[in-house]
Amino acid sequence: MARCRKCRQKKADVFIPHHRLPLCKEHFLEWFEEYLARTIKKFKMFSPEARILVAISGGKDSLVLWKALDNLGYHTEGLFVDLGIEDFSLISRRVAENFAEEIKRPLHVVSIKKESGLTIPDLKSRTKKYCSLCGSIKRYFFNRFARQNNFDVLVTGHNLDDEASSLLSNTINWQLKYLARKYPVLPEGNGFVRKAKPLCRFTAFEIKEYARLQKIEYLTERCPLSPEATRLVYAELMDELEEKMPGTKIRFYMDYLRKVYPIFNRQVEDFLDRPLTQCETCGEPAVSSPCFVCKLKAEAKG
């Protein structure tokens, strides 16, 4: 491998394809954190003083995000939502806790079993759409915890590969409701806290390299319940396009944000099936009352 483009002395440890940049360990880490800071600034995600809640799964994205934000001097705390998926949840939680100890930041844990009486495996036997329901449940608890504890912003580890492939999926299916809200920062309002995706311009490869060089131990297992067949179709298509036409992912995503998002977002009211209301039981924002979590709770009791 070539020499580092920055110091021109050390051998490069990482080559970043879409920036055509060979960098040594030190300058890769520096580049990564600077680029993260620039992304946060570019999208006006949050201020340097913000109290940030990091959604922690134990995977590479959430831990790398936490580490890099911490290195940049941000005030961060982590939240792990325990989904009750047997060994998978136990191991994820341990990985998250070990990491939090290492970087000496607080990690909060919310157990959906304690909160609602249910676990995700219970849902699997009730509905086919348990993957998307699980996503909604996580968002519910992350949002509620962030709001109740006065965090300024909730950040998640979604990376460029995630964002580009979900954009492709939303586009192929013309899901205007999702497209109109597909932006790496969403303002506070209607009971929702401010949300941001600071890793939205980083590829999975760059994130893995950061984890490797920082010696972050993360969970590599995928959720055992979820084949995620459909999501994988779009991820693979995006990878194919990227291989045949390098730079496609970042262009597709960034051009969307710049040129198309504003057009769809202006019409967001038209796209909403139902306006938001508030759940009369738990007080959280919901499309109807009681909200889906309170309904699940009631079912679990009954």
Sign of CA dihedral 65, 36, 154, 292: negative
Q: Is 228 helix (H, G, I), strand (E, B) or coil?
A: coil
Q: Would strands 285-286 and 277-278 be described as parallel, antiparallel, or unpaired?
A: antiparallel
* Of the candidate residues 226, 248, 277, 278, the single one contacting its own copies (CB under 8 A): 248
Nearest-approach distance from CB 248 to its own copies, in angstroms: 7
- By CB under 8 A, is residue 132 in contact with its own copies? no
DSSP 131-187: HHHHHHHHHHHHHHHHHHTT-SEEE----HHHHHHHHHHHHHTT-HHHHTT-SSEE-
- By CB under 8 A, is residue 259 in contact with its own copies? yes
DSSP 8-state symbol, 14: E
Nearest-approach distance from CB 173 to its own copies, in angstroms: 7
- What is the distance, to the nearest Å, from the Cα of residue 230 to the centroid of all Cα atoms in its chain? 19
Q: Which is nearer to its own copies, 103 or 260 (CB)?
A: 260
Nearest-approach distance from CB 171 to its own copies, in angstroms: 6
CA–CA separation, 15 and 96 (whole Å): 28
* Of the candidate residues 263, 268, 276, 298, the single one contacting its own copies (CB under 8 A): 263
Nearest-approach distance from CB 264 to its own copies, in angstroms: 7
* Of the candidate residues 1, 172, 268, 276, the single one contacting its own copies (CB under 8 A): 172
Q: Rule CB under 8 A: which of 266-285 touch its own copies?
A: 267
- By CB under 8 A, is residue 174 in contact with its own copies? yes
Write out the binding residues: 4, 7, 24, 27, 55-57, 61, 81, 157, 162, 279, 282, 291, 294
Nearest-approach distance from CB 23 to its own copies, in angstroms: 29
* Of the candidate residues 107, 252, 279, 294, the single one contacting its own copies (CB under 8 A): 252
Element (H, E) at 82: strand 75-82
- The closest alpha carbon to 191, from 279, 75, 77, 103, belongs to 279
Q: Rule CB under 8 A: which of 218-247 touch its own copies?
A: 230, 233, 237, 240-241, 244-245
Write out the binding residues for ATP: 55-57, 61, 81, 157, 162
Structural tokens at position 67: 């580490």
- By CB under 8 A, the count of residues binding its own copies is 23
Q: Would strands 21-23 and 14-16 be described as parallel, antiparallel, or unpaired?
A: antiparallel
Judge whether 261 and 183 are in contact, CB under 8 Å: yes
Residues that bind its own copies (CB under 8 A): 168, 171-174, 176, 230, 233, 237, 240-241, 244-245, 248, 251-252, 255-256, 259-260, 263-264, 267
